[in-house]
Structure 1
Amino acid sequence: MTTTARGERQYRQYCGLAAALDTVGERWTLLIVRELLLGPRRYTELLADLPGIGTNLLADRLKKLGAAGIVERSATGTGHAYRLGPLGEQLREPVLALSKWGIGLLGEPSADMVTRPHWALLAVQSMADASRLPAVAETYEFQVDDETFHLTVDRGALTTARGPADAPALSIRTDATTFVRIGAGALGPFEALATGKLTFSGDPDAVVRCSTVLGLMARPEQMVRERLRRF
């Protein structure tokens, strides 16, 4: 790795991966992209949801992402907001795939770790695979702390959106840490139900289908249904 005259470190390798890392491989850069995957954010919002980054470092990263054409700044009624440009939108699938890979590396969170409820929506986007239920058409609603979003499965296709759903087959309520722990396999959904960390309303069979779409079904379906009917 070499350092340019501007102090930027580059791999100087004629390789697509090296070129990508030259652009978005610095610390915090992909986490900024993660925040913008859900839509435009103001500078203060980014600073609040990236604890530890520091205002000068955030400004530096946004400047570099803007120069690379990944992030754009636009005027709002109260100032400015940052959003992903067309080049940045191309990072959506790679970032979600990396998130899906990384969630398997998570264990129990330490006391100094933070989480945000809107990260749960990105986790659902990375985990969901509607092709696991090609004949199903229904919607699942998630209320994670103060964030509400829903996932619609429609015969092999899926969409996600923020806000409540109309007549969801299943509505799940939990907190952000519990949601991530379940996704990471650090907490079983039944344990979360038994301790009140997670509650649901709707068709118990929809819990099985939702878990299947999210890749959480590790037990035989009949056993799952029998246990769900106890709650």
Structure 2
Amino acid sequence: MAPREYGQYDGVTRALELVGERWAMLIVRDLLVGPRRNGELAAGLPRIPSNILAARLKELQAAGVIRRAPRSRVVVYELTDYGRELEPVVLALGAWGSKAMGDPREEQILTPDAMTMSLRTAFRPQVAATLPATAYAARLGPADLLVRVDGPALDVTRGDGPVDLAFTAGPGIHRVLSGELAPDRAIATGVVEVRHGPGDLLGRFARTFHLAA
């Protein structure tokens, strides 16, 4: 299926013609975290039909948003420089959409790439610059993320390493990031489980990462 054309001549219309098809921006979101193989993209978007994924990848390549790149005998998809210019757009959409998220439905999931971008969306470098450097091991649903904050610099990766605070949370972490649920209350009610380190560091985490309600 050819990408939709709206018959109007302006930048917003053209942008939607390039990346406005269903699933396209979620593919861009995941590629902002890093290059991905086809199977990795499919695993991060478990509801996308394989034919739709193939079509979106082809369309985004044709638009100059992504490219195929050989890496160690496998082919990965990565954003072009033009595609990476979408990062502030994706972060702004994430901040805007978070205001209308409400409670998660039972079938909704957290993925590592989605949570990485959520943390990048919520990061407040001006606040982090006033706080001591801190490392967090955040188990958010199936996503195990190593979150390092050093002044206004943020690094979110998968894997292990020395941390000041390790905690586990599900979708309810959004209530903490939005300020709806105080960090100490989140721990007391089991929304957040502290696995290592002083629990009061969750308050520092909540100050560093914030999504407007």
Going from structure 1 to structure 2, the CA distance change for 1:93 and 1:17 (only over 3 Å counts) comes to same
Q: How far apart, CA to CA, are the structure 2 residues paired with 1:69 and 1:62? A: 11
* Number of the residue aligned with 2:91: 96
Residues 106 and 184 of structure 1 are in contact (CA less than 8 Å); yes or no, is this contact kept in structure 2? Answer: no
More displaced stretch, 111-120 vs 204-213: 204-213
* Structure 1 residues 164 and 75: CA distance shift in structure 2, 3 A: closer
In 2: Cα distance, 1:124 partner to 1:71 partner: 23
Alpha-carbon offset, residue 120 of structure 1: 1.8
Question: Which residue is 1:64 aligned to?
Answer: 59
Q: What is the Cα deviation at residue 189 of structure 1?
A: 3.6
Structure showing greater Rg: 1
User: Residues of 2 paired with 1:15 and 1:214: CA distance?
Assistant: 35
**Unaligned stretches of 5+ residues in structure 2:** none
The one of 187, 192, 202 equivalent to 1:207 is 202
Match for residue 148 of structure 1? 145
Alignment CA distance shift 1:142-1:118 (3 Å): farther
TM-score (norm 2): 0.84
For residue 40 of structure 1, report the CA deviation from its aligned partner.
1.0
- Using a 3 Å threshold, how does the CA distance of structure 1 residues 163 and 32 change in structure 2: closer, same or farther? closer
1:198 aligns with 2:192: yes
Instruction: Give the conservation status (yes or no) of the 8 Å contact 1:140–1:210.
Output: no
Q: Which residue of 1 aligns with 2:106?
A: 111
Please report the TM-score for the alignment, with normalisation by the length of structure 1.
0.78
1:171 aligns with 2:160: no
3-state SS of the aligned residue for 1:147?
strand
Inter-partner Cα distance in structure 2 for 1:203 and 1:138: 15
C-alpha distance after superposition, 1:28-64 (max 9, x if no partner):
1000111111111111111122122101110000001
1:45-60 equivalences under 5 Å are 45-60=40-55
Identity of aligned residues (%): 32
Deviates more, 1:49-58 or 1:184-193: 184-193
Verify the 8 A CA contact 2:165 2:199 in the aligned structure 1. Answer: no
Q: Which runs of 5+ in 1 are unaligned?
A: 1-5, 219-231
Q: 1:25 to 1:192 in 2, by over 3 A?
A: same
CA distance in 2, matches of 1:217, 1:52: 28
Counterpart of 2:102, as a letter, is G
Residue aligned with 1:10, SS: coil
Superimposed CA distance per residue, residues 160-199 of structure 1 (whole angstroms, 9 cap, x where no aligned partner): 231468654x413114423345435675544431243423
Indicate conservation of the 8 Å contact 1:130/1:153, yes or no: no
Following TM superposition, by how much is the alpha carbon of 1:130 offset from its aligned partner in structure 2, in angstroms? 1.7
Aligned-partner residue type, residue 32 of structure 1: I
Give the residue type in structure 2 aligned to 1:152.
V
